Amino acid sequence: MKIETIAIHAGNHTDESTKAVIQPIVMATTFERDADGGFAAGYQYSRSANPNRTALENVIARLEGGADAAAFSSGNAAGMSVFQALQPGSHIIAPDDMYHGLRNQLKQLFVGILEFDFIDINNPEVLQAHLKPNTKLIWVETPSNPLLKITDIKKVVAAAAGQQIKVVCDNTFATPLCQQPLTLGADLVMHSTTKYFGGHSDLMGGALVTKEKDGFWEKIRNVQTMGGAVPSPMDCYYLTRSIKTLPYRIRGHVHNAQLLAEYLENHDSVEKVMYPGLQSHPEYATAKAQMTGFGAVLSFTLKAGEAEAKRVVNSLNIFTQATSLGGVESLIEHRASVEGPDTKTPFNLLRVSIGLEHIDDLIADLEQAMK
């Protein structure tokens, strides 16, 4: 099946009791036992499993080409479950521009429990130099947030090969429509489903997808059900519903993003545009080789500096000044302000999540704001 068909059918089945075409929302927290004390239908208590969560996990696993998926109440909860599944004392290698929420999670919640190094993961010598006997995980985020750096997934997988190191890829910016890390050799994929999967800026969620149902995956499942950071049946239902239009939304997002990137690259006030679909991007060749679309987040810096960047975000009419990404509406933010005092993001940088409005209106809005 093609991805558009999977998106519509893999998370839904006709309800046998009513023949409803759309799977109903099951709000029950507990399920009746069979006469022999068993649970033949597979559901016992909703923290362990719920029919709407199963449906959501099925469709996400299929979209990424994985053996199984686990849904969480946020992207950070999904990431945290991977870290919690590691033995204490394990060493993690992560990119120096890892999404700041997960970087801070490691630095604040796992200090003294796990070891971690934030490095330039794209540099093979630097990566090799940081591998240690206790390295158990390499975290990849590509394209990265907010600098849109591209990591060559196959190269990282090759560096980890034969050493019992799991390679996890945060695929939030790309979505499986633009990149499928498991097919490039990664062991696990992570998503903030709050973004494109949800697509309407109205629900929080996260997901992990595994290539294999191995011992590490069992540990993650254990963290999911024992930790209990699971999404509600309503959130699972709405996510499954949104995913049906994901392939077509992504096409529109990517189309708009490419045109907006090209417009900004030719604008006199713009210093630099960071978007992997531009030939000027330093890792354009890698992006072209491993992606089937370049996503719809871009960052750009303004020649006139921080004050001008802040003026521009406040002069827009269609773009909303807000953090996050992946919704149908376009958002823009002064990223360094969002990341806080330890940010490494340039102060003249604006990050844009390109929505599904008409591209002419988006360009006209930026044109008037940057005058």
Please say whether the beta carbons of 211 and 190 come within 8 A: no
- For residue 111, give the amino acid letter: V
99 binds ligand PLP (CB under 6 A): yes
Among 4, 68, 101, 117, binds ligand PLP (CB under 6 A): 101
**Residues of span 339-368 touching ligand PLP by CB under 6 A:** none
Stretch that binds ligand PLP, among 73-81, 266-274, 300-308, 345-353 (CB under 6 A): 73-81
7 token code pair: 């998106």
Residue ranges in 42-167 assigned as alpha helix (H)? 51-64, 75-84, 100-109, 124-130, 153-160
CB of 145 to ligand PLP, least distance (A): 4
Stretch that binds ligand PLP, among 6-14, 98-106, 266-274, 340-348 (CB under 6 A): 98-106
**How far apart are CB 327 and ligand PLP at their closest, in Å?**
12
The number of beta carbons lying within 10 Å of the beta carbon of residue 30 is: 9
The 10 Å Cβ neighbour count of residue 162 is: 6
Among 51, 95, 176, 206, binds ligand PLP (CB under 6 A): 206
Which part of the chain contacts ligand PLP (CB under 6 A), choosing from 50-58, 61-69, 87-95, 97-105? 97-105
Q: Report whether 195 contacts 207 (CB < 8 A).
A: no
Buried b or exposed e, range 356-371, using 16+ CB within 10 angstroms: bbebeebbebbeebbe
Q: How far is the CB of 45 from ligand PLP (least distance, A)?
A: 25
Instruction: Catalogue the active-site residues.
Output: 47, 99, 170, 195
- Strands (DSSP E) contained in 211-339 are 270-274, 297-302, 320-321, 331-334
At its nearest, how many Å lie between ligand PLP and the CB of residue 240? 17
Question: Shortest Cβ distance from residue 81 to ligand PLP (Å)?
Answer: 12
172 binds ligand PLP (CB under 6 A): yes
Does the footprint of ligand PLP cover residue 204 (CB under 6 A)? yes
Q: Which residue is nearest to ligand PLP (CB)?
A: 75
3-state secondary structure of 337: helix
**Which residue among 51, 75, 176, 233 contacts ligand PLP (CB under 6 A)?**
75
First to last CA, the chain: 48
290 sits in which H/E element: helix 284-290
The residues that touch ligand PLP, with contacts defined as CB under 6 A, are 74-76, 99, 101-102, 141, 145, 170, 172-173, 192, 194, 204, 206, 324
